[in-house]
Structure 1
Amino acid sequence: MDMITDKIICVRHLQDQNVLKSYGLNGPLVDGQEDKIESASKKILEETRNGNFNRIRILYTDKTIRIEQTAKMLASELKKNGEIEISTETDERLNIFYQGEVLLPINYKDGEHFDPLMQAWDAISDEAYIYRNIDYRFGDGYGFKKYPLLAKSFLKSGESVADLLIRRYSLIVDILSGKLRGENELLVLCTQSDLPLLLLELQEVGRMGNIRQEELPFICWQVYKEKIQKNYNGDIPMGYTISLDLSDLVNSDFKEVVMLAKKNIEDRKAVPPSSIQDILNTTDNDFSEIDNNFKKEIGVGIDSTSIINSEFGFYPVSVVIPYYNSRSTILDVLRSIELQNLTKKEMSNVEVVIVNDGWKDDLEDIVIPSDYSFDLKIITCEENGGRSVARNIGTRNAKHDILMFLDADNLVSGECLREHSIRNKITPDQLYTSLVANIFLEDVPKITSPYFSENKPLPKPNDFNEFRVKEEIKSSSVGIHDIKRDTTVEILKETDNFRKYGFGRMVAYYDLPSMYATYCVSVTKTMFQKIGGFSEKFKGWGMEDSFFGAIGIVRGAKIIPILSCGSYSINLPSHSGSEEKEKMELKVNVDRYNKLMRDSFV
């Protein structure tokens, strides 16, 4: 029968020399650390006496100089006691995290700081636990794209977190099974800091119960951030000794959870990356070539603030508007379309499809199609299916090849339809989005009356006070991942109008797909069909447009802002019934979005 291990000791290796040029990332120890070894030895002997152990087994790796030297110094110090049998044994599962091979500057000298190493640690932490890309390898620069400093500084990339966890989980299963020590024997692991931290995390996670194995690495990381990090000021000190009581884990079925987590990671590694997120992590959003072609054809840049000359014409557009409890705004929205800077003939090529998504208004009594010079179609659904369902129904009933999606509380400036139309015709199958100015319902007459009263189109907003331009984000806000602290972001500015937003980049908790916010967006029907429409898995408020954007990127589209026009988004009471319910719906949809992004994609 396997021995049951409930008490183990972890000793972090001593401080090693900064000798990158001479030894690479595997340098020997700094002299003069005998006091730390003596302190560790005293703690181990105290645990030995308290637990009535009569033998000590030190487990270490001989593949790392600093760990091997630390283990041998510790064994030598313990043997001075003379009363307890000391044995040492190597186990390759204790090998440190392989950090690849660095490419040092020609004038680099041992002892100097090498900044790319710190950036590599930050990158692998973000990739593995924020973006959940645990197959990302230490030092990988994504081909000079996402981490250009790393691409220039690593001759060879290191391991991934997945590689390390396979080793660590295997070792932990054997520890919990009692396979690594004999009767009355205390197990001492000489290791780097990740293993004792992982064991501390597992102690906390083991008490939670009902943990899905595929979530284990990410739940452990959350426990570290919330409960463990502050206790050790971010990391376990060199030479530090930790005594761990694993009885809660040994006496539960948690060993099986760890085994399954290890198998889950191995199975994932055996299959080429194929999730939506995997594809986004290797895809750019640099639309410079599209911009150049558009500029040659039209004379202005595709993301220019300059309005396209009307001599370039207009191409038929179907505008799809989902409608639910928007009686107070729908007529103003339609008026803003009616007053577009289009000729009568051009307006005859505009179709508006309103989909009443189960709201009990008699919409036909509010909206009279004959009042408008464009073709207006109203479709009524018996039940509320949500915005995805409404947009998909509207698209199936749309007759034109260029689609625009507006919300029923969104007023468009006078150039909006032409600007979207020409871009979709000249450079089709991209995802175009306009910016918005957020306004209150009581401000609508003040904004619209000077123009609507004289049958003039709305001007482009002077102030785009929306999240893609500038937003102050609280750490408590709901997003696709948590952020560490309150922050202010200026996404358009920071990403060069989304050009530098590829390769899985996050700005706070926003990814590239979330830039496709459906206040006022457009796409060709061909691309819409490639995407498969708006996913109807999202119910309530939020994330269906981001997921549409994600699939569009996978299908080859770039997300491109149109800055020459804009719209006004009227802040109405929540369609969900309350802000609290809306927040709950968003959280559910964020979880659903993250899961779908990790699912296999064909």
Structure 2
Amino acid sequence: MTHTSLADTLKTRTNAHRYLTTGFTELTALGWHEPTPAGASAGQALSVVIPARNTAFALPTVLDAISAQQHAAAVEVILVDDASTDSTFDVARRHPAVTTAVRLADRRGSAAARNVGARLAQSPTILFVDADMVLPSHVFADVAARAAADTVLTGFRHNVRYQSSPCGGPLLPDGPPLLAADHRVTWKPPVGQVLPYSGITLTDELDGRPLDATDDFQNLGYGRSYYDWDLPRMAVTALLAVPREQLVDVGGFAEEFGALGWGMEDTHLGAALIAAGCLVIPLRQTVGYHLDPPDAAAQWQSKLAGWPRTLAHYRHLLALPAPGGHGRAFATTTDKHLTDAEVITR
């Protein structure tokens, strides 16, 4: 019996989402890309899952911003500490924004940490937020008001070099984070070098605009690409909302990526959810400050060293059938992680 590969399944999936965004505006009189009044999220539920590993330098600021969210939704915040060696878990279990704090007994990787959070989540929509992402106050309302069972909603990030403020926390720029700071929005690739994801080499300078040039990612449907970008790469878990039922059915994040190196588990999840029929829709107003760690240069060097291995594994998974029907395996794996974990629930 032959099976259609994940890569071939992606070629059959559209990303024409305009009917959803215009329908939302017609129903609510709110623009899809406008910050959302708190009341517009009334009656909705949201599970926020934060994987964390040695992020005490940023976490108080991140959680303070979560406490300042203005919404009317039922929100739970689940932070999963991946066996940090700093004070990350102490910060999490004491902060009032966190409703459930989990400390894994052994380091499992960010994919496993997110899966554990998803296992504990009670809401139909899970918003993944990195432990170094500082969010504007309207983000929870933006997501809760627009989430649906077949949509992947992606926000954006404005990277900020670490600087310590006089009070000891990270120093944030004045004003709101900028959409154009995200590489999916403004992209200037190198010339004359092989781009490792696609394997193409650009011979001329390019002022790349992935978000605009693809009509909010719609033109990336059916497996199409924009130079080095395709639709699964737009699913970045620094700030990403997914339907919990679909996430569980595809088996969550593939945890083996963590043993190979850094990255690609979010791209693979994006591919799996797209293959399952989800649309990937950007929220241009949903941009957070992504705080670099104090040792950012060393961390990036270490992460990039492992990226060829994770990319090769992703290519391998693309050749396999699209995942589905993995809910029981997902529960078994995550429950095993929780067996010796410390869980504190308010």
What interval of TM-score do these two structures reach, taking the shorter chain for normalisation?
0.7 to 0.9
Pair 526,438 (structure 1): closer, same or farther in 2 beyond 3 Å:
same
The residue type equivalent to 2:281 in the other structure is I
Counterpart residue number, 1:133: none
Deviation at 1:497, TM superposition (A): 0.6
Is 1:538 matched with 2:270? no
**Secondary structure of 2:284's partner?**
strand
Matched residue count: 313
Residues 360-369 or 583-592, more deviating: 360-369
Query: What is the distance in 2 between the residues matched to 1:393 and 1:358?
Result: 13
Counterpart residue number, 2:69: 340
Query: What is the distance in 1 between the residues matched to 2:179 and 2:240?
Result: 19
**1:108-136 per-position Cα deviation (integer Å, ceiling 9, x unaligned):** xxxxxxxxxxxxxxxxxxxxxxxxxxxxx
**Secondary structure of 1:294's partner?**
helix
Higher relative contact order structure (alpha carbons within 8 Å, sequence separation ≥ 6): 2
**1:467-502 per-position Cα deviation (integer Å, ceiling 9, x unaligned):** 110111125465322121264421011100111111
Counterpart residue number, 2:215: 496
Pair 341,557 (structure 1): closer, same or farther in 2 beyond 3 Å:
same
Query: What is the distance in 2 between the residues matched to 1:406 and 1:578?
Result: 19
For normalisation by structure 1, the TM-score amounts to 0.49
Query: What is the distance in 2 between the residues matched to 1:367 and 1:550?
Result: 31
**1:516-558 per-position Cα deviation (integer Å, ceiling 9, x unaligned):** 0111111121121222211112123111001000000111100
Is 1:470 matched with 2:193? no
Q: What are structure 1's unaligned runs of at least 5 residues?
A: 1-269, 451-458
**Secondary structure of 2:220's partner?**
coil
Alignment of structure 1 residues 182-201 onto 2, 5 Å: none
**Secondary structure of 1:442's partner?**
coil
The residue type equivalent to 1:305 in the other structure is H
The residue type equivalent to 1:472 in the other structure is K
Alignment of structure 1 residues 100-499 onto 2, 5 Å: 271=2, 274-301=4-31, 304-314=32-42, 315-342=44-71, 346=73, 349-369=74-94, 371-372=95-96, 374-424=97-147, 427-442=148-163, 446-447=171-172, 460-474=176-190, 475-476=192-193, 479-485=196-202, 487-499=206-218
Query: What is the distance in 1 between the residues matched to 2:23 and 2:228?
Result: 33
Q: What are structure 2's unaligned runs of at least 5 residues?
A: 324-346
Bigger radius of gyration among the two: 1
For normalisation by structure 2, the TM-score amounts to 0.83
**Secondary structure of 2:218's partner?**
coil
Deviation at 1:375, TM superposition (A): 4.7
Deviation at 1:289, TM superposition (A): 2.1
Query: What is the distance in 1 between the residues matched to 2:274 and 2:182?
Result: 23
Query: What is the distance in 1 between the residues matched to 2:250 and 2:296?
Result: 27
**1:232-290 per-position Cα deviation (integer Å, ceiling 9, x unaligned):** xxxxxxxxxxxxxxxxxxxxxxxxxxxxxxxxxxxxxx957x11111112221111222
Query: What is the distance in 1 between the residues matched to 2:296 and 2:113?
Result: 15
Query: What is the distance in 2 between the residues matched to 1:511 and 1:561?
Result: 14
Identity of aligned residues (%): 25
Deviation at 1:577, TM superposition (A): 5.7
The residue type equivalent to 1:367 in the other structure is A
**1:75-124 per-position Cα deviation (integer Å, ceiling 9, x unaligned):** xxxxxxxxxxxxxxxxxxxxxxxxxxxxxxxxxxxxxxxxxxxxxxxxxx
**1:356-400 per-position Cα deviation (integer Å, ceiling 9, x unaligned):** 11212344433353x42x452211112111110000011112232
Query: What is the distance in 1 between the residues matched to 2:216 and 2:126?
Result: 22
**Secondary structure of 1:394's partner?**
helix
**Secondary structure of 1:566's partner?**
strand
Pair 351,575 (structure 1): closer, same or farther in 2 beyond 3 Å:
farther
**Secondary structure of 1:400's partner?**
coil
Deviation at 1:413, TM superposition (A): 0.8
RMSD over equivalenced CA pairs, Å = 2.5
Pair 299,531 (structure 1): closer, same or farther in 2 beyond 3 Å:
farther
Deviation at 1:311, TM superposition (A): 3.4
**Secondary structure of 1:365's partner?**
helix
Deviation at 1:461, TM superposition (A): 1.9
Pair 294,443 (structure 1): closer, same or farther in 2 beyond 3 Å:
farther
Is the Cα–Cα contact under 8 Å of residues 286 and 558 in structure 1 kept in the other structure? yes
Deviation at 1:312, TM superposition (A): 2.3
Deviation at 1:579, TM superposition (A): 3.3
